[in-house]
Amino acid sequence: MFTSNPFADLTLFLAPLFMQVYVVLMILAVAAGTLIDMRHKGSARYFMQARQASRARATRQLSGGERMSLAVRTLLNEVLTAGEFHKPRRRISHLLTFYGVLLYLITTIVLVFAYPTPETPAPAAWPVLWNIGALMILVGGCWFFFFIRVDVAKEGHSPFRLMRADLFIVSLLASVIFAFAWECVQAVGNLTATQIFFGIYLFFTTLLFFGVPWSKFAHMFYKPAAAFQRRVEEADGSTSLPRPADVRYIER
């Protein structure tokens, strides 16, 4: 089951073009939602104003090589290894979810566009990686949702108490859960159940991508930019903030 392309089997009741158009629409939804979020919150204007203010306060001019070095350090620390999280549990949960989402999205695009029908079978590695990505999201996301969220871990609220900030993680987990359900019932040949679970999967996946302006989805684009700007300000002497304390021992 986990070695066959679940999207190719949808041709029993859907044309391959349907999923290809759907994927393109979801990509456009993320781009549009991020722009709407930036406009609503004034993020772009804030970053421009902060950059201009920091330039005025700078005590030295950074070379292109220095800026490139800071960009690489930001990529390695804040993006690829989640170095801003000092608690091991929070960091592992974030990395599982982050790399799971990347793997899940990349393999979905490959399976939908490169191997759209049973007549063009995908190498077994691609469906396996798709399932591994979904499983990583499920483990990392459930770990965060049930045990790490602030209102659950610190305030003792029920994990099922939801707020708007939970839209991203809830829709992401629901999308993955119903992807597994759809894949399982499709593998046993139940067409009606396949159509039902696939429809629910599409609903939560659409909610995930169209909910960008109201969820924390866009934060994944803001955080690297903010981290890079902070490094630049520390390097050119323009920062107005005190150097943060080493909290690794405090948070243990």
CA dist 106 and 63 (Å) reads 35
The one-letter amino acid at 193: A
CA dist 40 and 43 (Å) reads 8
pLDDT tier, 241 (very low <50, low <70, confident <90, very high otherwise): low
- Structure-token match 């903030």, residue found: 241
Give the residue extent of every domain in the chain.
Answer: 8-39+87-220
pLDDT tier, 240 (very low <50, low <70, confident <90, very high otherwise): low
Contact by Cβ (8 Å): 142, 174 = no
Q: Which of 18-22, 33-37, 91-95 has the highest mean pLDDT?
A: 18-22
Mean pLDDT of 91-104: 93
Mean pLDDT of 110-135: 96
CA dist 130 and 161 (Å) reads 30
pLDDT in tens, 186-198: 999 999 999 999 9
pLDDT in tens, 228-237: 878 887 887 7
Q: What are phi and psi of 157, to 5 degrees?
A: -75, 165
Among 204, 202, 219, 203, which residue's Cα sits nearest to residue 165?
Answer: 219
CA dist 223 and 98 (Å) reads 13
Among 19, 5, 57, 71, which residue's Cα sits nearest to residue 224?
Answer: 71
Q: What is the pLDDT of residue 101?
A: 94
Segment (H or E) for 227: helix 219-236
pLDDT in tens, 132-186: 999 999 999 999 888 887 666 556 667 677 777 788 899 999 999 999 999 999 9
Distance of CA 81 to the CA centre of its chain: 14
